[in-house]
Amino acid sequence: MGDYYLTEKETERAVLVALSPQKQSEEKTQEYLDELEFLASTLGIETSKTFVQKLDKPDIRSFVGKGKLEEIHTYVVDREINIVIFDDDLTPSQLRNLERDLEVKIYDRSLLILDIFLKRAKTAQAKTQVELARYQYLMPRLTRMWTHLERQRGGTGTRGGAGEKEIETDRRMIRDQIAVLKKKLEKIDKQGETRRKSREGVVRVALVGYTNVGKSTIMKMLCKEEEIYAKDELFATVDSTVRKVVINTVPFLLSDTVGFIRKLPHNLIESFKSTLEEVREADILLHVVDISHPSFEEQMTVVNDTLTELGAGDKEMIVVYNKIDQLGSPEEGGFDFSSGIDTTSTSKTNIFISAVKKQNVAEFRRMLFEKVKKHHLQIYPNYLAPDYY
């Protein structure tokens, strides 16, 4: 008997499924799967095995081909797996077919991300936004949700799913719920607008970046606050936090925002637009990058694309390359970051730091101070800011 049988019942065990198109390297596929595993573990789901199928496009009926599906099914039954997670979004009919064939909970990337957001959201606004996005996601997939409800009520894997009548009732209920949530959000947005107006006349800085790069850690470092939640988990921050920071007598507002990720569900971006208003209204963006991540460049592209989508693509920006402590020393072939500043780029400013090991933090603060001062002087031309040193 393997270890599997010793695992506590409550632990959710999953298998991951991804496609590997011909033009994608094996390393890339593995990296995507690692990210998916990390997402799952953030929800407390343990990954038991991953399945990869060499296919350029997903199978219309069941995402993977028939043979692979049988292979997955056998494994799921043998190892008492409760969830199968697909790295791409599934169409409503794929979801239905897979659930029928595999007889376990089926997740796709979007649902996984939505569930993490649901777990993390703290403020009324974020909670409402996630609920809305989740209902919009579930709406075309109602049969599936119904069978989930069935199971929760103690039914056994209802093969045929619910009757049309029940589904219609559910659909109506969800439609009403979506309307209620939208109204609620409008009201919250109005209050937010008033609050944002009251912040006029103060320079605004927003931390942006891929998830888990260290935004909240930098926020904490700049605010000297302990209560900001930073953790080695994806989407540790879902609500945006705003704090007043003063560097060398120049005040500004700093906001920490939700991290971006490859293939962020579109509904989610839509519903988070008001939270991301912090980003749109910022004078300066601090684009935090985890330079120790093997695909940091791709992550930067995801972030820049999302910023463009939000209409914040051409803002003044400092690129903060974080986690340099994770890189090798110059002797080991790593970079020499001792100066902390790369002046080769003209439109943007780059800085290399370690928020945890506090490397190059003084240079970073000075760079930020110079930028903030410039904006502060535009608002208060008569203000005499002292020199940094």
Ligand X SMILES: Nc1nc2c(ncn2[C@@H]2O[C@H](COP(=O)(O)OP(=O)(O)OP(=O)(O)O)[C@@H](O)[C@H]2O)c(=O)[nH]1
- By CB under 6 A, the residues from 318 to 347 that bind ligand X are 322-323, 325-326
Q: Which does 354 bind (CB under 5 to 8 A by kind): ligand X, Mg ion, none?
A: ligand X
Least distance from Mg ion to the Cβ atom of residue 269, Å: 17
Contact call for residue 231 and ligand X (CB under 6 A): yes
Q: How far apart are CA 267 and CA 219, in angstroms?
A: 27
User: Which residue, 47 or 216, has its beta carbon nearer to ligand X?
Assistant: 216
Q: Which stretch binds ligand X (CB under 6 A): 190-198, 229-237, 247-255, 343-351?
A: 229-237
From the centroid of its chain, how far is CA 59?
A: 27
DSSP-assigned states of every residue in 76-100: HHHTT--EEEESSPPPHHHHHHHHH
Residue nearest to ligand X (CB): 259
Question: Does the annotation flag 174 for ligand binding?
Answer: no
Say what angle helices 142-152 and 92-102 make with each other, to 10 degrees: 30
Q: Which tokens sit at 341? A: 């500043």
Q: How far apart are CA 206 and CA 183, in angstroms?
A: 28
Q: How far apart are CA 325 and CA 297, in angstroms?
A: 18
Binding track over 275-314 against ligand X, x by CB under 6 A: ----------------------------------------
User: Which residue, 36 or 95, has its beta carbon nearer to ligand X?
Assistant: 36
Q: Which long-range contacts (CB under 8 A, 24 or more apart) does 97-100 make?
A: 97/61, 97/62, 98/62, 98/63, 98/69, 99/144, 99/147, 100/159
**CA triplet 377, 287, 269: central angle to 5 degrees?**
110
Q: Which tokens sit at 84? A: 């199968």
User: Which residue, 273 or 293, has its beta carbon nearer to ligand X?
Assistant: 293
Contact call for residue 259 and ligand X (CB under 6 A): yes
Candidate residues 47, 94, 97, 237; the one interacting with Mg ion per rule CB under 5 A: 237
Q: How far apart are CA 257 and CA 142, in angstroms?
A: 32
Binding track over 332-361 against Mg ion, x by CB under 5 A: ------------------------------
Q: What single-letter DSSP state applies at residue 107?
A: E
Say what angle helices 142-152 and 164-197 make with each other, to 10 degrees: 100
The SS3 assignment for 291 reads coil
Candidate residues 58, 214, 265, 340; the one interacting with ligand X per rule CB under 6 A: 214
Q: Which stretch binds ligand X (CB under 6 A): 69-77, 230-238, 328-336, 369-377?
A: 230-238
For 39, list phi and psi in degrees, rounded to 5. Answer: -60, -45
Contact call for residue 211 and Mg ion (CB under 5 A): no
Least distance from ligand X to the Cβ atom of residue 292, Å: 7
User: Which residue, 29 or 216, has its beta carbon nearer to Mg ion?
Assistant: 216
Candidate residues 8, 200, 227, 232; the one interacting with ligand X per rule CB under 6 A: 232
Question: Does the annotation flag 325 for ligand binding?
Answer: yes
Least distance from ligand X to the Cβ atom of residue 223, Å: 12
Other residues' Cβ atoms within 10 Å of the Cβ of residue 366? 17
Q: How far apart are CA 178 and CA 70, in angstroms?
A: 38
Q: Which stretch binds ligand X (CB under 6 A): 132-140, 167-175, 275-283, 351-359?
A: 351-359
Residues at the interface with ligand X (CB under 6 A): 209, 211-217, 230-232, 234-237, 259, 322-323, 325-326, 354-356
Binding site, by residue number, is 209-216, 235-239, 256-259, 322-325
Binding residue positions for Mg(2+)? 216, 237
Binding residues for Mg ion, per CB under 5 A?
Answer: 215-216, 236-237
